Amino acid sequence: MSAVLPPGVDPTASIGDRTTIHRLAQVSEHARIGSECVLHAGAFIGRNVLLGPNCVVQDEAVVQESTLVEEAVRIGRGAVLANRVSDHFDGLVVRAHAVIGAGARCVGPAQIGRWAVVAPGALVMDDVPDFAVVEGSPAHRSGWVGRAGYRLTRQRDGTWLCPKTGERYTEVDGVLVLAV
C-alpha cells in the first residue's frame, strides 16, 4: 500500500517516516527527505536534494538542486542553499547538526562543517570548518560553538570551553576538535 503524497510533492520524491510537510511546501523530482523532518510553509526542496533525518527547513527557505544536507540540520526562514554552475560540479554539502540562520545565503561548491553556525544574513561561498560561527558578507569566522550550541570561550591554557557542558576543545591550524 503506497502513501498519498501531500500537494506539492513530486511523485518521484522519497519522503521518510514521520516527516511533516506543511502547506505550500514543495519537494521536487528525485529529492530524498529523511525521517522525522519538518518542512515549513513555503519551503522549497529542489531536484536531487538529499535531506537527512531530523532536519528542519523553516518557512520560505530554499534548498536548490543537488545539495546534500546531513542529519539534524536547521535551516532558517528565508535561507537559500544554492550551487554555482560550473564545468566541474561538486555541490553544496551541509554537515550534521549545522545551523543556517534566517536569510543566510550559502553557495556551493562549499562544505559547511558539523555543528557550524551560519549567522542570519551571512553570505557563505567557501568552506566553513566544523564548530565555526561565521557571519557577514562575505562570511568570516567570528568564533566557535560547541556541540550544545553555545559559544565557546577561550581559556588561559589555549583551549576552548563550552559554558553549558564543560566540554573542552582545542584549535590547531584553524581546526577545532573536541579534547579527550
Which pLDDT belongs to residue 85? 62
Distance (Å, whole) CA 180 – CA 178: 6
Asked whether 100 and 67 are in contact (CB, 8 A), the reply is no
Length of the chain: 180
Asked whether 76 and 55 are in contact (CB, 8 A), the reply is no
Asked whether 27 and 21 are in contact (CB, 8 A), the reply is yes
What are the sequence ranges of the domains in the chain?
Answer: 14-145, 148-180
Grid coordinates standing for 160? Answer: 576552548
CA angle 45, 49, 51 (to 5 degrees): 85
Which pLDDT belongs to residue 1? 36
Tens-digit pLDDT profile for residues 115-162 = 999 999 999 999 999 999 999 999 999 999 999 999 999 999 999 999
pTM over 0.75: yes
Which fold, 14-145? UDP N-Acetylglucosamine Acyltransferase; domain 1 (2.160.10)
Q: What is the CA radius of gyration of the chain?
A: 17
Q: H/E/C letters for each residue in 5-38? A: CCCCECCCCEECCCCEECCCCEECCCCEECCCCE
Q: What are the contacts of 12-15 at 24+ separation with CB within 8 A?
A: 13/45
Distance, CA of 160 to chain centre? 23
Per-residue confidence band for 3, with pLDDT thresholds at 50, 70 and 90: low
CB neighbourhood size of 107 (10 A): 16
CA angle 74, 72, 22 (to 5 degrees): 60
Tens-digit pLDDT profile for residues 48-101 = 999 999 999 999 999 999 899 999 999 999 999 998 765 555 789 999 999 999
Which pLDDT belongs to residue 112? 98
